Structures are given as structure tokens and as C-alpha cells.
Amino acid sequence: PSICDVIRNLSGMWQILFKDKYVRYFDVPQNYEDAIGGRFYVQELGVLRDDLGRLRGAPVTDAELNASIAVYNDNRAAVRDLYAYRAQKPWQAPTSEVYLLLRAGMVLPPEEHTQMVRDYLACIDELPRPKRDNARVVINGTFCEQPPLALIKSIEMSGCYVVDDDFMLVTRWLLDDVPADGNPLEELSKAFLHRSASTAAKYDATREEKGQFLLKQVKTRGAEGVVFAAPSFCDPALLERPMLQDVLAKHGVPYTAFKYAENTGQ
């Protein structure tokens, strides 16, 4: 996103350092009308599809894209089930395990990752774990730079059950299934514009009041409070934090906040 100076400059650094690699800075729409931002997004996706087709030596067809959309629909459904289970029984599915399961999905083919998530859900109840009187919390602010595993374990050891978060948001970025039988680029565009998660990295001044998405997470997951944990120097997360805190305060939701160094967990 253009609001992140680090990412904005990263594409230029890649072009300098890896001259033999394909690099494209991908712009997402900041207007959420289908005829304006939607049309722009479809055009951006079309350029990316053409570029990737040239890289592989054959055009990427609509049928292939729809088949891929179906695969990722299945993957997101599995992750939604995982998050629903954790919210219901956080002592059985500790976030330190759920987090590693999500991280695996960043490097595995989606079909394999979906099966891994399903296998985890199938066997987790076979290992009874003690239920503790922990606080149910939502973690917010880690949508880009991922926290060290030790930080997540520390939050859990301090007496918290994490019942929702924005870790590796890509697996939950689109909130429902994308139709896999239409124009794939148009369907992906509509899903982004109208059915995607709210985050500081996405400019949207039109759809809903700031903080409502976070409030919805708190209520639907039965959370008792929010932990704001953002990496140092993450301007989008840190600039949005006071606005989100104001909304939580108005609705009587407790919160606490800190920053961390993503490479050390300090």
C-alpha cells in the first residue's frame, strides 16, 4: 500500500538488486465505486495477468483463474473454521499453534495447506487441555510485519486467550467466497471493494465508521478486551490506533497497547 513508506520503496530496491526478476508495484483502488475504483482494479489485475502469462509462456485463461478462485475459497473456508473453533475453545487451539499453521500456508500450495488445517481441526479435540480463567482478547495491528512467535507465547502466558487477530490477513482478507463461475477479475474486484477486511493499510472513507470492524470482532468472538500490538515505525497501524482506541472507549471495551521489534520480540 502506498501509505507504507517501507513497502513503497521496497519495489524500487528489488528492481535495483534483482534485475533478472519480475517486479511490479501493484496499486489498489482508493475509490470504492464499481464504475471507478472497480474498473481501475480490474485493469490493474488484467495487466498483472498478462505479465504473468508472458513469464510462463502462455496466457492465463478465465477458466484457470476460476479454478484457482475455487481452491482459495476452500482454503479461506478452512481458515474460517479454524478461527471459529479457536474462538469457541481457545484453550484447545492455542494461538501459538494457530499462528504456525497460518505461517505454513504462506509457503505451501493452498491445497496442501487446506488439508493441514482440516487435519488439525480433526485431531485437536483428541488432546484434552485444561481450561483456564484467562482474558479473551483481540490482537490488532500486526497485519503487515508479523510478530515473533515468542511474543504470541508471552501474551498467552500472561493470561490471555487470543480469540481474533489480524495475523497474516491474506488468508482472511476476503470475507466470503468469490464466485468461481463468472468473470474472475470482476468478481475479485467486487470482493475487494465490498467484502474485504478493514485494516489500516486500506484506505476507505465511505463504507463504515472507523473502528466498527474491530468492534464487530470483539462482539462476535466474545472478547473482553483488545491488545494493540504494532511493530515499531509502522505508521499505518500507529496512526490508526488512537482512532480505534476512541471507539473502544466509547463502547466500554478495555484495551492496552504496545509496540514491538519484529525481529527480536523486544
How does pLDDT run along the chain (266 residues), one tens digit per residue? 677 777 778 888 989 999 999 988 888 898 899 999 999 999 999 999 999 999 999 999 999 999 999 999 999 999 999 999 999 999 999 999 999 999 999 999 999 999 999 999 999 989 889 999 999 999 999 988 889 999 999 999 999 999 999 999 999 999 999 999 999 999 999 999 999 998 887 876 655 678 999 999 999 999 999 999 999 888 889 999 999 999 999 999 999 999 998 776 56
Element (DSSP H or E) covering residue 76: helix 62-88
User: Residue 252 burial (CB < 10 Å; 0-12/13-18/19+)?
Assistant: exposed
Helix, strand and coil in the chain, % to nearest 5: 50, 10, 40
Strands 225-231, 160-164: pairing kind: unpaired
pTM of this prediction exceeds 0.85? yes
Distance separating alpha carbons of residues 193 and 204, to the nearest angstrom: 9
CA distance 68 to 5: 31
